[in-house]
Copies of this chain bind each other. A is one copy, B any other.
């Protein structure tokens, strides 16, 4: 449970252990009831993924609950927060399959773990990769189904559950839309910054920040103007969060981010960073980007050449500016929002952390 500290500020540091305990208890129950010992690799892969992660969505959900005036026992909110984290695990598992990523959060991705388990159990080497992919598709499906299952066991009263279901349904649909927009724009180098920002809005701003915050606030019975303030804070912050992610993907330290640097470039992701670079690039630089971006086997030297263009066109700096502008906008919302001061303080902290992070 999250307790208010002596100064009255809600303490979000309790969210992580609280959510972890719920997830572990849930998976222990599922493992006991599972169809058989053959299911073990699914649990191993899911637990490994869940062991890490920033728990940003659960924190935002609990912060939203405080913003909506929640205080005292927050166990129902923590349950919902844990369901959001399971949903996020589903999204990551399928995302890694689609991107054919090897590593996530510094560890092998689920489809790699499942392929390895298949080999260990005597499976054929020639089939291991496709087995891993199929098994990870199923594990993602199971995790999505379980995020509902966990929610239904959150002991929410029926009225509250019915109140948040439409929000969850919208959130889940919007994430998939965002992922599809992302997929469509991949490998199509473009200088359309607005189009890239639209993907960010669906894929991250609404899904990662706005909905967890609003769902938490609704759980506390927040008024419409509090909900409006949540959205006004969340959308610019969510954009800033994704823009930071894009920068870290290209310029970050793999030891900190837990994933190889340059994956977005190798996959040809249509990030805002890349669109700005295309916009500011000379004809020769544009040609260079067209030749190199989207090549899965891009060598280190060529990766460096792309990074140089991202710097020299000023794209990197422009994205930094976009991040700080959006963070400032989000913080300014808090100054005039009708939120309890303590909750606003917590949101301020989250905004600083999410935009200045190194991982």
Contacts and interface: CB of A to CB of B under 8 A. Distances in A.
Interface of A: 30, 34-36, 38-39, 42, 90, 94, 97-98, 118, 124, 127, 131, 133-135, 137-138, 140-142, 144-146, 148-149, 152, 158-159, 161-162, 165-166, 169, 172-174, 176-181, 183-184, 187, 202
Contacts of A165: 152
A35 B131 CA distance: 33
A142 B173 contact: yes
Nearest to A165: B152
A138 B98 CA distance: 9
A142 B36 CA distance: 29
Contacts of A172: 145, 148
Contact of A146 (B124, B141, B158, B173): B173
26 contacts: A30-B173, A35-B174, A35-B177, A35-B181, A36-B181, A38-B180, A38-B184, A39-B177, A39-B180, A94-B137, A94-B138, A94-B141, A97-B137, A124-B187, A131-B183, A135-B180, A138-B180, A138-B183, A142-B173, A144-B144, A145-B173, A148-B148, A148-B172, A149-B173, A152-B162, A158-B161
The majority secondary structure among interface residues of chain A is helix
A176 B134 contact: no
Contacts of A162: 152, 158, 161
* A94, A138, A140, A142, most chain B CB atoms within 10 A: A138
Nearest to A97: B137
Query: What are the nearest 10 A-B pairs in CB distance?
Result: A158-B158, A35-B177, A98-B134, A145-B172, A149-B169, A142-B176, A152-B165, A138-B180, A141-B176, A138-B176
Contacts of A181: 35-36, 38
